[in-house]
Amino acid sequence: MLFTQMNESRLVIKLDGIWNFVLGGAELDESLCEKAFEQCEKIYVPASYNDQKADIKLRDHYGWVYYQTSFPLPPIPCERLVLRFGAVTHRCRVYLNGNEIAEHVGGFLPFEAELDMSALSANNLLTVAVDNRIDFSTLPVGNEDSRAMFGSGLPDYESVRKTTLKPRNNPNFDFFNYSGIHRSVSLYTTPKEYIKDVEVVTEINGADALVRISAELSGDGGAEVSILDAEGKTVANGSCESPITITNVRLWQPGKAYLYTAKIVYKNDVYYQKFGVRSVEIKGSRFLINGRDFYFKGFGKHEDSITLGRGINEAQNVKDISLMRLLGANSFRTSHYPYSEEMLNLCDEEGIVVIAETPAVGLGTKSYGKTADTHRAVIRDMISRDKNHPCIVMWSLANEPDTECEQAYEYFMPLYSLAHEADPQSRPVTVVVCNNNYTKDKVAPAMDVICANRYYGWYIFGGDLDAAKQAMTAELDYFEQFGKPFMITEYGADAVSGIHQAVPAMFSEEYQAEYYKCINSVLDKYAYVVGEHAWNFADFQTVQGTMRVDGNKKGLFTRDRRPKLAAHYFRERWTDIPDFGYKK
């Protein structure tokens, strides 16, 4: 699915702004979707609805909510009109003038519906019903057993739940279940015969590059292609399907991005697809970008900001990449779901390397039999959307699933093959693991890169950094036998901003910094370790719990982006570690 753009053949109209809003219940009420709301609140789109009002009913809502707006349609020359949603979390149904026109499952990828022009009027009523419920079949996964939330210590807890407790979501993941219309809602036009999709594959050939551009078209005939450099000058011409040569090519490099643009022309339609020329390759235990040994320096991250929740925040994206550069970071993982197209476009421009991850969080024996179809669809849709981004160098199929159980290998290996088949660039594929007994892991050694989350010194051997160092050493000794690149994709310790101690102890800023120094001293000893992603870039919101003080405090920055002591430590460390050639 193509990202929306306004050009000489296409018009884009955003419907973002203040919409009408109604809280619903566990069952869909279609009567609310058939006409204008009689009573409602105001809500901003795009954003999570949870934190926009000082109201616990929105914060802890369970079930359906209803959004509504109206839009006039001026007399514009238009052969085809499409309604597009960037993301709606987690499930939704869309109604136009009382008629259902779309349904979508999955909260982090776009969907669209072509509109019947004859059914439109001068003023049109758009209603979106959104369901935020999670269970063993959804991605991410929600628990269905009340004991997981209330504990088995309650006497006759099941009768308490049934008689006095309202139903509520019980996430099997450690971030807040923000919901709503999270990314932009747009109308866009195309000619009657149009470009449906574009695929770009590049191959470096000495000082030149071969570029293969494929276009999915709505009708017969072919498409012509012009390649423009970063200054807009035409450097090559050709047609779709036939290789095009760029002489004296400039490569897309981490920290030094260079983008070309493919101008695709099909009859009366035009689409401009930016791309970078770069290679990604695994050789033994080495991770290569453009044939050079690359070392990942960066973070796990979240789309999470005050008021907007998980809603798109482009100003925050600009700020975050600026802070990454300040620390000498070169990469991040889209933990734990596909991020907005706007963020990936920015990473393309800024030269930030990305590991793109599906929303498969919390998978285990109870969910493996229920999530497979949804998981396959998400992998296909994520790669279809993001295949042309040079910033993406690896796909992550899941975060911290149970990979010790017998079903794990049979579950993940078909998904591993699917990811390689779906990606025209066949980037490396991984599953991010975190097991109590890594020697029993059935999936990590089969991936292209072994990616592990590990918290020695925090959840295991909390407060004992000597033990943490020994445990980390033992684990790296074990994984070295597989001869593959290893990356630590999460490691960290909570630090409450402002807590300082002369003798570092847990939850102080000093302990967080000492923790990272300890684990990094181990990582630096192993040549097959190709990267380190601290958990987390910034503090983020979670469900309430005795382990969380206003959210997860493992950020190197506070939620409002104030640096902690560990951020300054990483700035010194990462500015001294080169992007390429570290640990030669």
Calpha distance 445→463 (Å, rounded): 30
- Provide DSSP, 479-529: HGGG-S-EEEEE----B-TT---SS--TBSHHHHHHHHHHHHHHHTT-TTE
Whether 303 is catalytic: no
User: How, if at all, do strands 292-293 and 296-300 pair?
Assistant: unpaired
Calpha distance 180→59 (Å, rounded): 12
Query: Cα 34 to chain center, whole Å?
Result: 34
Q: Quick check: bond before 140 cis, omega within 30?
A: yes
3-state secondary structure 207-263: CEEEEEEEEEECCCCCCEEEEECCCCCEEEEEECCCCEEECCCCCCECCECCCEEEE
Three-state DSSP class for residue 135: coil
Residue with tokens 């009027």: 121
CB-based contact 124:101 (threshold 8 Å)? no
Residue with tokens 């869909």: 28
In angstroms, the Cα distances linking 175 to 29, 244, 491, 543, 544 are: 29, 45, 16, 7, 10
Whether 400 is catalytic: yes
Give the active site residue among 350, 400, 404, 510. 400
Give the active site residue among 490, 509, 514, 532. 490
Residue with tokens 């597989």: 482
Tell me, what amino acid is at 47? Answer: A
CB-based contact 295:583 (threshold 8 Å)? yes
- Catalytic site positions: 400, 490
